[in-house]
Structures are given as C-alpha cells and as structure tokens.
Amino acid sequence: MSLQGQYDPSNIFAKILRGEMPCAKVYEDDHVLAFMDVFPQSRGHTLVIPKSSEARNFLEESPERLGGLMLGVQTVARAVRAALEPDGLVITQFNGAAAGQTVFHLHFHIIPRWEGQAIGRHASGGMADPGELRVLAAEIAARI
C-alpha cells in the first residue's frame, strides 16, 4: 500500500478500538489506546494508537491530534522504562508499505532494548502468548 489511499475501517487496530478484537491493554485516555504487540520484537513491545483518527500514517494526522498522541506515546514509554528497566527504548513509526508499515492505522512502536540482546524483525516473529502479554501489560500499566 502506498502513502496515498483510503482508510480501511476493517483494519485490526480499528477492530480493537471498536471492541471487536481483544488486546492486552496497557493504557487508555481520551486520545490514545496502548496495548501489547502480539508479534513482539522484544519483551514489552507496546503499541500506541490514536483513538479518534482515520489517519493511515503520520503524514495524514491532523496537527490538532498530534499533541495528545505524542503525550500518550511518552507516557507509555516512561512506564515501559520504569517497569522493565531496559538499557534503551526504540520509539518508531512506519509510513507506507515500502517503509515497513503492515497495519494502515497510525501507530507508534515502543520497543525495549537490552545490551547484547537482538530484537526480532518487524512483523515477522511468532505470536506471543496472550497470558504473558496480559502480565506484561499489567506490569507496565502499574507504572502509569
């Protein structure tokens, strides 16, 4: 999918927002929903998505929504740091299929990193155990 196109309301993140699909929720406010990535690149890989947006990528998001979205990303990233004590954090976001985007609803990845531990490739690892994700989500949520 290119950088242009129509928003598809049947994407997995839209379904999660509507309650049609489950997630291991970490955090929610008026602007964002954060939950564990079911195909994590590392332990604690968390996603943050805007709740009231049909932007497929960062370039399409309205300036008025960016403040609340970025505050949500920072809030969750700080909680991931506090809960898991990684050596570093990758905070990333993909725009278009050629850039690696696989779900075309704007979202940010918060990926904890530890020295000497490789991370998995984006969108190519195995699916995580839902029970383990719920435990991680609770650990991170407790730090918000």
Tally Cβ neighbours within 10 Å of residue 36: 22
Q: Give yes or no for a contact between 111 and 90, defined as CB atoms under 8 angstroms apart.
A: yes
Rounded CA separation 120/118 (Å): 7
3-state secondary structure of 48: strand
Torsion of CA 57, 62, 64, 65, to 10 degrees: -30
109 an active-site residue? Answer: no
Q: Are 117 and 42 in contact (CB under 8 A)?
A: yes
Six-digit token pair at 10? 């049947």
Whole-angstrom distance, CA of residue 98 vs CA of residue 135:
34
- Which position among 31, 107, 109, 122 bears the catalytic label? 107
Active-site residue list: 107
